[in-house]
Chains A and B, each alone.
Chain A
Amino acid sequence: MSLRQVRIYPLFERFWHWSQMALIVTLLFTGFRMRGLHALTSFETAVNVHTIAAIVLIVLWVFAIFWHLTTGTWVHYVPTTNGLLKVARFYAFGIFKGEHHPYRKAYWKKHNPLQALAYLALKLVLFPAIWLSGLAYLTYNLWQGMAGASGGLEIVANLHVLTAYAIATFIVAHVYLLTTGHSFVGHVKPMITGFDEVDLTPQEEAYLEADEPGRLKT
């Protein structure tokens, strides 16, 4: 086994992550403005920016879904119960006792089981919920003729907002977890440079050196 700097976040994934972050922050900010939680911009600016950002994010998601499926990266999000409890136990107790994180990152499985499950829930529940409710909200004028459309709009709007609160809650936990482990920077840096320290078996190392040398830092 040897510790190597391995590129675990390809360029597209980093681009996707950071532009998604910027868009989600923008959407939360403008969305909460429309909801009346603050008045730091005009309602008009909030609506226009929110709409444009939402459309851009949807396009980005379409690309990201395509990328995940075609590159096989989707496997990183396959949930497993194997080690899940250990990770949960670590965050609940072990972290306070100075224990080491029970998960050893693999270049082909970069998320720990809890992380994978959380991201999967985000991608399969929260994102589709905000996406679908948002599109229904945006296109209200196309279905307002239906019976009970006015009440329907209120439900759609509140579903959208409730999902937004859930996403904001996720972000709080997500950002907080960056502070665990070695350091905050240590967690953020891989998402910028793409490289993270991974413990490679001799076989893995040999494979990467032979077939994907670009992923190893010499």
Chain B
Amino acid sequence: MHATRKGLLRAGVVMLLGIALALPSRADEQPRDAKPKLPVAGQKHGGKTGGTTDHSKLPALKGPFLTGSDVTRACLTCHTEAGKHFMKSIHWTWEYTSKDGQQLGKKHLVNNFCTNARGNEGMCAQCHAGYGWKDETFDFKNQDNIDCLVCHDRTRTYYKTPNTKGNEACSIMFENKPLIDLVRVAQSVGMPGRENCGTCHFNGGGGDGVKHGDLDSSLVTPDKALDVHMDVKGLNFACTACHVSDKHLVSGSRYDMVAKDTEGIGKPGLRREVATCESCHGMAPHKQASVKGLKLNDHTDRIACQTCHIPTIARGGVATMVDWDWRTAGKTRNGVGYKEDNYTQRNGAHRSTYKSIKGNFAYAEDFKPDYAWFNGRMHYTTIDTKFDSKAPPVEINAIAGSAAEPDSRIWPFKTMRTVMPYDVKNETLVYTHLWGEDDAAFWGNYDFKKAVAKGMQDARLAFSGELGFIPTVSYWPITHMVAPKGDALACDSCHARDGRLARLSGFYMPGGVTSGLSRWVDLIGLAMLFAALVGVLAHGALRLLTNRRRGEP
């Protein structure tokens, strides 16, 4: 009791501090709130409910804690194996080897947002669930470097800042943050809520909703129309209700997608390496005792649930980025970087359409995704992939799958188009050194050539010195923002000449995707029908004429 009262007092002090300081919000985020955000209560985590331990009663968590690592050491005194488990997780390794043998993960990949985390860890590793990853010297074997709190904080007061200071142009964004009461945070840990996962996953690509199109801050407290599962007044699912985990390995990574689940609902002790719709809804989810339901169930083998049940994306009031042009980055006013906020999203927040550090952007909201046959695998253009620069756009991640492959289904994707730097001579993507205190970091010095040279040099990769810009495209599978069933796509959304799947091919779809054969059959059939009509009309006219001539009526 005493401890709790003390905790409340501390919370109050921290809250007051927060209000008094009126934190500068991150540039891309929603309008700054004066009020601190509260954790979203009552979220459901699937099978797990937690609650067998009141962490505020544990002697190990009495503190004091000077650093996050102090808290981690305390956690590990009880959760003795958690550290070892967690170190195998992609949240820690940032590495994933695909089934095709490609080395993926943030540690290696180039994306078409802020281009690369590699070499920019001082900034980007804010979203690494660890402490202090600045460069290659980071110790991935030291359990003390694990950050338990970023996922398990249930006070919503914990936050992370970049691991290095960075150039002044950026570091200003992270100044004057309130102190974190580590004891209070440690004592209130729990299962991760949407706001925990969202800290990073809603802000991928450098801001709220920028990257995915189906993941943004509107999912912290969504209504049913936005997401039937996360609906805060309804099912109120936490991410972990679907993204079930075992030994800290969370299922449902987009690197390892199940495009077509053939197992469906699990028996007791169900699979823990699955996050598919089918794992709860089964493979015949529509009403079986109706003509409509049967026909809809006929679709599930070739059409992903998401295709019909997520009619539009980015519909929670937060925009997603669809276009980015790095070529215009680096303009200054009076020698200082600036930004233009010329897009107002539906929740009223202004979004930057130009930033000196990043270039020009375009956004979209509540829009149709693109569709493609997908077998769950993507083939990436990695840093060492040579491409044909005369055949842009470069596909950062080419979607694998086709109508002919039985394990492929039609999936929705958000398409991101970016014009970004590349090595003209070698025809490869490049690592750009964006973040740092040195004079090569692009964010501060605005010299692309210098930044790329440094980025490539640090990674010990060849750079020809000839820098160009090339259009690229990346595809983000859509799976969140599942709409209420009444809002699902109607048949005519696809079964129409100019329907949503009009650009796909290799199959026959009534009323929609057709081929030469269908056109010929329609031509012949209509000609036959027309000939019959003309024939009987002529016959009838001739009868009338001859009757009249004979004086009959």
Contact = CB atoms under 8 A, between A and B. Distances in A.
B546 A97 contact: yes
A155 B521 CA distance: 10
Given A141-B301, A169-B529, A153 B508 contact: yes
Interface string A24-67: 00000000011111010011100110011000000000000000
Interface string A123-151: 00000000000000000110011000011
B114 interface: no
B539 A176 contact: yes
B540 A179 contact: yes
B206 to A, nearest CB: 41
Contact of B291 (A33, A34, A52): A52
Interface residues of B, number: 42
Contacts of B292: 44, 47-48
A11 interface: no
A43 B518 contact: no
Nearest to B299: A141
Contacts of A95: 543
B546 A96 contact: yes
B291 to A, nearest CB: 5
Contacts of B552: 98
A158 interface: yes
A172 interface: yes
Given A44-B490, A150-B404, A176-B539, A161 B525 contact: yes
A47 B491 contact: yes
B540 A157 contact: no
Contacts of B547: 98
A174 to B, nearest CB: 10
A168 interface: yes
Contact of A35 (B510, B515, B533, B542): B510
Contact of A98 (B495, B506, B546): B546
Contacts of A34: 495, 510-511
B529 A43 contact: no
Nearest to B550: A98
B492 A169 contact: no
A161 B515 CA distance: 14
A6 B422 CA distance: 91
A164 B163 CA distance: 71
B518 A51 contact: no
Contact of A43 (B298, B511, B526, B540): B511
A153 B298 CA distance: 14
A166 interface: yes
Given A44-B491, A176-B540, A154 B515 contact: yes
Q: Is the interface of B mostly helix, strand, loop or mixed?
A: helix
B514 to A, nearest CB: 8
A168 B506 CA distance: 30
A165 interface: yes
A166 B528 contact: yes
A58 to B, nearest CB: 14
Give the size range of A's interface with the partner: 35 or more
Contacts of A164: 525
A162 interface: yes
Interface in B526-553: 526, 528-529, 532-533, 535-536, 539-540, 542-543, 546-547, 550, 552
Interface string B285-300: 0000001100100100
B524 A165 contact: yes
Nearest to A152: B508
Contact of A154 (B301, B518, B542): B518
A51 B517 contact: no
A210 interface: no
Contact of B517 (A158, A169, A173): A158
A185 B305 CA distance: 54
A168 B522 CA distance: 13
A36 B497 contact: yes
A39 B490 CA distance: 14
B22 interface: no
A142 B522 CA distance: 27
Would you list the 9 A-B pairs with minimal beta carbon distance, nearest first? A165-B525, A176-B536, A43-B491, A154-B508, A96-B546, A43-B492, A172-B532, A44-B491, A158-B521
Interface of A: 33-37, 39, 42-44, 47-48, 51-52, 91, 95-98, 140-141, 144-145, 150-151, 153-155, 157-158, 161-162, 164-166, 168-169, 172-173, 176, 179-180
21 contacts: A36-B512, A42-B490, A43-B490, A43-B495, A43-B496, A44-B492, A47-B292, A47-B491, A51-B295, A96-B542, A98-B550, A154-B508, A154-B517, A161-B525, A162-B521, A162-B525, A165-B524, A165-B529, A173-B532, A176-B539, A180-B543
Interface of B: 291-292, 295, 298, 301, 403-404, 406, 490-492, 495-497, 506-508, 510-512, 515, 517-518, 521-522, 524-526, 528-529, 532-533, 535-536, 539-540, 542-543, 546-547, 550, 552
Given A43-B490, A173-B536, 19 more contacts: A36-B511, A42-B490, A42-B491, A44-B492, A47-B295, A47-B491, A51-B291, A95-B543, A98-B552, A144-B301, A145-B406, A150-B508, A154-B517, A157-B518, A161-B521, A169-B529, A173-B532, A176-B540, A179-B540
